[in-house]
Amino acid sequence: MFQPKFSITPKVANALMRIEAARQAVVDLPMTPKVQARLRETARLLSTHYSTQIEGNRLTLDEATRVIQKDEHFPGRQRDEQEVLGYYRALDELERLAAKKATVTEKVIQTLHALVMRGRRGKVKPTPYRDGQNVIRDSRSGAMVYLPPEAKDVPDLMADLMAWLGKNEKDGLPWPLRAAIAHYQFATIHPYYNGNGRTARLLTTLVLHLGGYDLKGFYSLEEYYARDLPSYYNALAVGPSHNYYLGRAEADVTGWVEYFCVGMAEAFESVQRRAKEEARTGKVDKTQMLRQLDVRQRKVLDLFRKSEWITAAQVEKSLGLSGRTARYLCQRWVEEGFLVVVDPSKKARKYGLSEAISKMLS
C-alpha cells in the first residue's frame, strides 16, 4: 500500500495558513459575473500555455490564445496547436468532473490523458498505460534523469495511488497536501510514454477543485512551475538514485511538499491581488448564480459577447461536439430556460439568452 513519507514543517504550516487566508479573501470579494468570467478565462489560458510550454510547446501565450479562441493556425506548429487545444479541452472536462463532485479514478485520469494527447475534437477513449519501459533523459546532454518503474508494476502502483487518495479523503489530510502527493506520485509512476507531466498537473488541479480549493477557477499553478523550471524539476527529483527501484519509492518527499505548498500560496495570493483590483467596482457578487450554470453553459456565454444570438454550429465549434449533439444541447437548453429561439428556421436556427439569464448577467 502506498504510504508517502513527509513532515508538516513550519514552512509547510505557514504556507497552508497563507493559502487559507487568500482563499477566504477571494471568496468574500464582490465581483460581477463578467469580471469572474474574465479572470477565469485568463487563468485557463495561462494554465494551458504554461503547462504545455513546460513540455516544449513553442507557441507564445498570445499565439496559444488565438489558437483557442479564434481557431487560428501557425505554419509548422500543428503539433503545438493540438497540444494547447488538448489541454484546454481537458480543463473543460476537469471543471465538469469537479462540478459533479466526481471521484478520482483510474478511468478519470486515463480520460484526461486521452484529451491531452488527442486535441480538440471528437470522442476519446481512456488511454491504457504504457506496455514497455520508458526513460526520461536531459534534452540537452542526453543523460538519464529518471528510470520509472517497469510497465508490469504500473497498474498496481496506480491502483495504490487511487486507494490512498480515497483513504485520505476520509482521514482528513489537508487537500493541498493531498494534491501535492498526488502530483508527486503520478510523476513517479510515469504511467505513459508521453503526456505524464501535463496529466499530473491536471490531476493536481482536479484534486484541489474537488476539495473546495478551486478559488473560483482564477489561479494557475502551472505559471508558478514554469517561472523556474529547474526548481520544479529539482523538487520532484527525490531519492538517492534516478532508478525507481533504488530508493525513490521509500524517499521522504517533504522537500517537494514544501515547494508545492509555497507555490500554491504564492499563486493564491497573486489571485487575491488581481481579484481585489477587479472588485473595486463594488458590484454585487453573483457567484452563486453563475454556479447554477454548468461548464458548457458558462463557455457558451462567451459567444454572446460578440453577438446577440448564436447557432448550433457555433456551439459545435466552441465545445468540440458533433453537429447532432450540439443541436440536441441547444434544444435542451431552451427547455431548461437558458436559451430562447429567436429564429425558428430549420436550416439556420438562431438562439438568444433567456430573459432570466440576461437579467442575471446585466
Instruction: Assess if residue 108 is contained within a domain.
Output: yes
Q: Does one domain contain both 104 and 249?
A: yes
Q: Does one domain contain both 272 and 357?
A: no
Q: Which residues pair with 147 in a beta bridge?
A: 243
| Lowest mean pLDDT across 134-143, 150-159, 264-273, 282-291 | 282-291
Q: How confident is the model over 167-183, as a mean pLDDT? A: 88
Q: How far is CA 133 from CA 129, 138, 153, 193, in A?
A: 11, 17, 11, 8
pLDDT in tens, 303-345: 887 788 999 999 988 888 888 888 888 888 988 888 999 888 8
Q: Does one domain contain both 329 and 231?
A: no
Q: How confident is the model over 229-258, as a mean pLDDT? A: 89
Q: Is the pLDDT of residue 284 over 60?
A: no
Instruction: Assess if residue 286 is contained within a domain.
Output: no
Q: Which of 200, 233, 217, 189 is nearest to 104 (CA)?
A: 200
Residue with the three cell numbers 459577447: 305
pLDDT in tens, 15-47: 999 999 999 988 888 777 777 888 888 899 999
C-alpha–C-alpha distance, residues 209 and 242, integer Å: 32
Contact 234, 290 (CB under 8 A): no
C-alpha–C-alpha distance, residues 183 and 202, integer Å: 9
Q: Is the pLDDT of residue 282 over 70?
A: no
Q: Does one domain contain both 262 and 318?
A: no
Into how many domains does the chain fold?
2
Q: Give me the pLDDT at residue 285, please.
A: 47
Q: How confident is the model over 84-112, as a mean pLDDT? A: 93
C-alpha–C-alpha distance, residues 320 and 45, integer Å: 17
Q: Does one domain contain both 210 and 304?
A: no
Q: Does one domain contain both 235 and 339?
A: no
Instruction: Assess if residue 313 is contained within a domain.
Output: yes
The CATH number that applies at residue 350 is 1.10.10.10
Helical packing angle, 312-319 and 323-336, nearest 10°: 110
Residue spans of alpha helices (H) in the chain: 10-28, 33-54, 61-70, 78-99, 106-118, 154-171, 175-189, 196-210, 221-227, 229-236, 254-278, 287-290, 295-301, 312-319, 323-336, 355-361
Burial of 78 from C-beta contacts in 10 A (0-12 / 13-18 / 19+)? exposed
Contact 255, 238 (CB under 8 A): yes
Instruction: Assess if residue 2 is contained within a domain.
Output: no
Q: Does one domain contain both 323 and 351?
A: yes
Instruction: Assess if residue 287 is contained within a domain.
Output: no
Q: Give me the pLDDT at residue 250, please.
A: 85
Contact 120, 89 (CB under 8 A): yes
C-alpha–C-alpha distance, residues 246 and 244, integer Å: 6
- Give the chain's mean pLDDT: 88
C-alpha–C-alpha distance, residues 206 and 112, integer Å: 10
Instruction: Assess if residue 300 is contained within a domain.
Output: yes
Final residue belonging to a domain, choices 227, 258, 281: 281
Q: Is the pLDDT of residue 10 over 80?
A: yes
Final residue belonging to a domain, choices 227, 256, 281: 281
pLDDT in tens, 100-156: 899 999 999 999 999 999 866 667 899 999 999 999 887 677 788 899 999 999 999
| Lowest mean pLDDT across 89-98, 123-132, 147-156, 240-249 | 240-249
Q: Which of 352, 304, 309 is nearest to 34 (CA)?
A: 304
CB half-sphere exposure, 15, CA atoms < 13 A: 21
Confidence of residue 287 (pLDDT cuts 50, 70, 90): low
State pTM to two decimals: 0.78
C-alpha–C-alpha distance, residues 182 and 207, integer Å: 8
Residue 310's SS3 state is: strand
Q: Is the pLDDT of residue 204 over 90?
A: yes
Instruction: Name residues whose C-beta falls within 8 Å of residue 106's C-beta, 6 or more positions apart in sequence.
Output: 158, 159, 162
Q: Give me the pLDDT at residue 288, please.
A: 52
Q: Does one domain contain both 223 and 326?
A: no
Q: Which residues pair with 362 in a beta bridge?
A: none
Instruction: Assess if residue 197 is contained within a domain.
Output: yes
The CATH number that applies at residue 163 is 1.10.3290.10
Q: Does one domain contain both 277 and 304?
A: no
C-alpha–C-alpha distance, residues 353 and 214, integer Å: 27
Q: Give me the pLDDT at residue 362, please.
A: 62
Final residue belonging to a domain, choices 220, 247, 281: 281
Residue 340 belongs to what domain range? 292-361
Instruction: Assess if residue 4 is contained within a domain.
Output: no
CA triplet 107, 108, 111: central angle to 5 degrees? Answer: 85
